[in-house]
Amino acid sequence: MKAIISASELASDLAGSRPPTVLDVRWQMSTAKAAGAAPFDGRAAHAAGHIPGAVFVDLDADLVAPPGPAGRHPLPDPEHFGAAMRAAGVRADRPVVVYDGGQSWAAARTWWMLRWAGHPDVSVLDGGLTTWDGPLATGTEEPAPGDFQPVPGGMPLLDADGAAALVRTGLLLDARAGERYRGEVEPIDPVAGHIPGAVSAPTTENVTGTGRFRSAAELAERFKALGATEGTEVGVYCGSGISAAHQVLALAVAGIPAALYVGSWSEWSADAARPVAVGPDPE
């Protein structure tokens, strides 16, 4: 199983005897929308052009639960998630490849969800749809129903107490932009700053200028410099568990297992009793 796959590898696999199930998870976080612009419509983008055979999956409807005390993008009910994956044609015995528009945040969250739910073979298209130079299909796909049944527990998971404990025993990485970590700005959540003891590690540094992941060696060196030495337990959070999944994916490419704090800062900062640190230093 490869955590990421190139467009040429995907094209070859699709032409083979055991083609993967391909999921299109194009999505944009609301804060990325230009002021006054219409909301991004991933389903419409899919219908306008997608990798042939790819099935659209709606992140907001199928990969997260409604926002609340557990954060802006909490885990969905496993049965709901499983039904959505079966409707998309996901089978337990067939590889899955996930892509989005190129940022790979939504694709990484889908990768993490499927791996957490027990699927053994899931990859993200490196660089997303922007790297695909083959033909595109239009309209919608009608896949044969899949048989995937979630068995949660396939990936390590943190809650707020676990994140607080990890800063004392291991390494907790904050995947948000540096200015949000330092508490200089907070465009979404009610409080600015970071979890005391967490180390700033912006997700954007996992990729090159083209949006593709850096090499495994480069990523391993990056995370080692941040404190991910051999034997260190690693966890990641972001604003709401989306870009942090991208960081977990980058760590996997580097050969480093890591836990995801799904509630992330949106859950942590919603409780006034939890401590908050500001500035460039972890504490």
Q: Which residues are catalytic?
A: 238
CA distances to 21, 77, 111, 194, 269 from 95, rounded to whole Å, are: 6, 23, 11, 37, 37
Backbone angles phi, psi at 33, to 5 degrees: -80, 140
How far is Cα of residue 224 from the mean position of the Cα atoms in its chain?
A: 21
| Beta bridge partners of residue 173, listed in sequence order | 199, 236
Q: How far apart are CA 192 and CA 126, in angstroms?
A: 32
- Contact indicator for 106, 231 with CB cutoff of 8 Å: no
Residue matched to tokens 């699709």 = 14
Please say whether the dihedral angle defined by the alpha carbons of residues 269, 273, 278 and 280, taken in this order, is positive or negative. negative
